[in-house]
A = this chain, B = another copy of it.
Amino acid sequence: MSHVSHLRCVECGREYRPTEVRYTCPACGITGILDVLYDYDAAKKELNHMSLAANKERSHWRYLPLLPLTGRQFIQNLQVGWTPVYKANRVEAELGLKHLYIKDDGRNPTASFKDRASSLSVSKALESGAKAIACASTGNAASSCAGFAAAAGLPCYIFVPKFAPEGKIAQLLMFGAKVMVVDGDYEATFRLSQQAIEHWGWYNRNAAINPIPVEGKKTCGLEIAEQFQGNPPDYVFMSVGDGCSIAGTYKGLKEMHLLGLSQHVPKMIGVQAAGAQPLKLAWERNQPWRPTGADTFADSIAVGVPRNPTKALNAIRESGGRFVAVSDEEIASAMRLLPRLSGVFAEPAAAAAFAGLIQCVNSGIVRSTDRCLVVVTGNGLKDSASAIRVAGAPKLIPPDLDAVRAVVE
């Protein structure tokens, strides 16, 4: 049973009944993204210390009482969420930290954080009787949407910008989505998807239009609070493109606090690429955001026109966190450092979050005793070409021992 009580516009604060509006606020138009709110007292009866301790479900569906579905009927069986949290001892030693944790969301079914949103969105599309689902994405939202749609047998239309890396394109094709690779940037891709979705009446999985996907994303925050036994880290680092992922994770952390299942809410650190930092600049200058370029090889955050700015800015401000911006060199350096010290291979945008941590350590924002968590939002296999470029391709050697000796000694 869904405990959704109402929807509230993040711009004007108007409230709607759960079934009154599907996407954005009629009064504010496309920028009026809605927030899904719950009857938390009712939810608390199903989601509490006792029920969680007894719950054997190792997926994000363990939080069903706090998700906008009426039941389990339309849930796909791909195991999503409840991703592992590791204490990163070797990274701690390198950075001079005492309490560093990594949450590896690259372990999701299609290897990214976005599976949290897509799993819920596909279920919601089915629940609402949609005949197809669609989204625009720099890659991960698309491939995860395609994956869950494939499991469900729901037709899926995907719009990706032409810079999407090979791994993500491969997933889309294999999951049988109808793929539109758009000759343009993410902004052009997004606009085209909106036109097509309206024209054909597909279910809209764009997290910056539809409030449902962010509810899926919040399960990352719900999990963090529970995995840390109600005492989550001081800081949570996440990379930021559209802003939906950090907003969702923050919402989950806040809700666990609201339910009495978490002692505090971490400070959210939003990490943008230096070449695509509209939200960092808006936060820094305390001004409305303005479009910027989208110049970074970290494709998942190559977003100059963020589609969920208000939710993201709220997450940073309310939590007392901050935005930081990292250069492509810092991202490349973080890409090299993290896997060789932890065994966790992050895609460029995921490594950006780690680069943000390194920057905050170097600048003294994070102290050695602070408890920090980095969310790795996508597996490095999503973009092998960037990894090889960053690492430097290995040399071919002839099959003899002297050639090995030259490498070893």
Residue numbers of A with Cβ under 8 A of B are: 58, 76-79, 84, 86-87, 90, 104, 107, 109-111, 147-148, 150-151, 153, 157, 162, 166-167, 169-176, 178-184, 188-189, 191-192, 195-196, 199-200, 335-336, 339-345, 379-382, 384-385, 387-388, 391-401, 403-404, 407-408
**Pairwise interchain contact B381-A176, C-beta atoms closer than 8 A:** no
**Chain B, residue nearest A390 (CB):** B174
**Pairwise interchain contact A380-B170, C-beta atoms closer than 8 A:** yes
**Pairwise interchain contact B169-A400, C-beta atoms closer than 8 A:** no
**Pairwise interchain contact A395-B181, C-beta atoms closer than 8 A:** yes
**Pairwise interchain contact A343-B388, C-beta atoms closer than 8 A:** no
**Pairwise interchain contact B404-A345, C-beta atoms closer than 8 A:** no
**Pairwise interchain contact A174-B399, C-beta atoms closer than 8 A:** no
**Pairwise interchain contact A399-B188, C-beta atoms closer than 8 A:** yes
**Chain B, residue nearest A199 (CB):** B401
**Pairwise interchain contact B182-A399, C-beta atoms closer than 8 A:** yes
- Report how far A180 CA is from B84 CA in the complex, Å: 31
- Report how far A339 CA is from B183 CA in the complex, Å: 27
**Chain B, residue nearest A383 (CB):** B170
Question: Which single member of B191, B199, B343, B399 contacts A109 (CB below 8 Å)?
Answer: B343
**Pairwise interchain contact B183-A396, C-beta atoms closer than 8 A:** yes
- Which residues of chain B are within 8 angstroms of A335 by Cβ–Cβ distance? 174
- Which residues of chain B are within 8 angstroms of A176 by Cβ–Cβ distance? 339-340
- Report how far A181 CA is from B196 CA in the complex, Å: 47
**Most chain B beta carbons < 10 A, residue from A171, A344, A345, A407:** A345
- Report how far A109 CA is from B83 CA in the complex, Å: 11
**Pairwise interchain contact A341-B150, C-beta atoms closer than 8 A:** yes
**Cβ contacts A to B, 13 pairs, < 8 Å:** A77-B87, A78-B343, A111-B381, A166-B388, A171-B387, A172-B394, A173-B392, A178-B408, A183-B396, A192-B400, A379-B381, A381-B381, A381-B382
- Report how far A77 CA is from B169 CA in the complex, Å: 31
**Pairwise interchain contact A173-B111, C-beta atoms closer than 8 A:** no
**Most chain B beta carbons < 10 A, residue from A176, A380, A404:** A404
- Which residues of chain B are within 8 angstroms of A166 by Cβ–Cβ distance? 384-385, 388
- Which residues of chain B are within 8 angstroms of A401 by Cβ–Cβ distance? 192, 195-196, 199
10 A-B pairs besides A79-B84, A176-B340, A184-B399 with CB distance below 8 A are A78-B344, A167-B381, A170-B380, A170-B384, A171-B387, A174-B339, A174-B391, A181-B394, A182-B396, A200-B408
**Pairwise interchain contact B169-A167, C-beta atoms closer than 8 A:** no
**Pairwise interchain contact B394-A179, C-beta atoms closer than 8 A:** yes
Q: How far is the CB of A223 from the nearest CB of chain B, in Å?
A: 13
- Report how far A407 CA is from B78 CA in the complex, Å: 29
- Report how far A404 CA is from B173 CA in the complex, Å: 16
**Chain B, residue nearest A107 (CB):** B107
Question: Which single member of B150, B199, B336 contacts A342 (CB below 8 Å)?
Answer: B150
**Pairwise interchain contact A148-B181, C-beta atoms closer than 8 A:** no
- Report how far A394 CA is from B183 CA in the complex, Å: 12
Given known A-B contacts A180-B407, A399-B191, A345 and B175 have beta carbons under 8 A apart: yes
Q: How far is the CB of A81 from the nearest CB of chain B, in Å?
A: 12
**Chain B, residue nearest A158 (CB):** B394
**Pairwise interchain contact A173-B394, C-beta atoms closer than 8 A:** yes
Given known A-B contacts A196-B404, A343-B110, A174 and B387 have beta carbons under 8 A apart: yes
Q: How far is the CB of A294 from the nearest CB of chain B, in Å?
A: 15
- Report how far A8 CA is from B157 CA in the complex, Å: 56
- Report how far A63 CA is from B384 CA in the complex, Å: 34
Question: Which single member of B147, B173, B391, B395 contacts A170 (CB below 8 Å)?
Answer: B391
- Report how far A174 CA is from B391 CA in the complex, Å: 7
Given known A-B contacts A58-B58, A170-B380, A199-B401, A339 and B150 have beta carbons under 8 A apart: yes
